[in-house]
Chain A
Amino acid sequence: DQQVKQNSPSLSVQEGRISILNCDYTNSMFDYFLWYKKYPAEGPTFLISISSIKDKNEDGRFTVFLNKSAKHLSLHIVPSQPGDSAVYFCAASAGGGYSGGYQKVTFGTGTKLQVIP
C-alpha cells in the first residue's frame, strides 16, 4: 500500500525553466511533508518541508505547495540549474507532534529530475 505516490519517475527540464515535481498521498492523518534530494551514491538530504497548517513554504529557488483537499503537494524549482539534477523524494509523517509521540516518515518512490544545460 503506497501511501505516498510520485507518479512521474522522471522529468527533464531546460536550464533556467521551472521544474515542477508532484506528489500525492492517501493517508489523511499525514500532517507534515518533506522533500529530500538524492544524488547517486549518496544518502538523501533534506530540502524543504511544510506543515499541514500551511499551503505554501518558500526557501530560495524552492517552493512547496500543499493542497490538503486534493491530498497533493508539489515542489517548484525556479530557475532550474544543472546541479539540481537528482532524484527527489516526497515524504510525509503523521501525528505525534503535539503529544511528543513518534512520527514515522513515509517516502514516495522518487522522481529523477534532469536539468539540461
Chain B
Amino acid sequence: NAGVMQNPRHLVRRRGQEARLRCSPMKGHSHVYWYRQLPEEGLKFMVYLQKENIIDESGMPKERFSAEFPKEGPSILRIQQVVRGDSAAYFCASSTRLDATNEKLFFGSGTQLSVL
C-alpha cells in the first residue's frame, strides 16, 4: 500500500530551465495538493487539483508555474524559466475527501529543487 510518491527527490536546474515535479497520490485518492516550503518558512499552499480539474490555484504564482492532474498518470507541477528564488522543497499531498469534516492530508517526501 504505497504512500504518496514524489519524484525526483532532488532536482537541480540552471536559471532559465524548466522544472517538472511529479506526484502520484495514494491509491484511491483523487485529490492532490501542492505545497512549497522555502528555507526557514512553513508550508505554503500552492494549488489543489482533482482529476482533470484545478479547484484552487490561489497560492500559485501567476507566471511560470502551472499544475495538472490528468485522468491517467501523476500530477505534474511545472515551473518554467526557473529563478534562484524557486529553490525550495515542494511537497505533494493527497486525500480521499470522503469525509470533508475530517480532512487529513497524506504527504510525499518532497522534491528539493535547487536552482543554480
Contact = CB atoms under 8 A, between A and B. Distances in A.
A25 interface: no
Interface of A: 4, 6, 32, 34, 36, 41-46, 49, 51, 89, 93, 96-98, 100-110
A41 B89 CA distance: 9
22 contacts: A4-B42, A32-B101, A32-B103, A34-B103, A34-B104, A36-B107, A43-B6, A44-B91, A46-B104, A46-B106, A49-B104, A51-B101, A89-B43, A93-B103, A100-B100, A102-B48, A102-B100, A104-B45, A104-B56, A107-B44, A107-B45, A109-B42
Given A102-B48, A102-B55, A109 B104 contact: no
A49 B108 CA distance: 19
Contacts of B33: 105
Contacts, number: 63
Contacts of A100: 100
Contacts of A96: 100
Interface string B75-116: 000000000000000010100000011111111111000000
Contacts of A42: 109-110
Contacts of A45: 107
B107 A110 contact: no
Interface of B: 4, 6, 33, 35, 41-45, 48, 55-56, 91, 93, 100-110
Contacts of B100: 96-97, 100-103
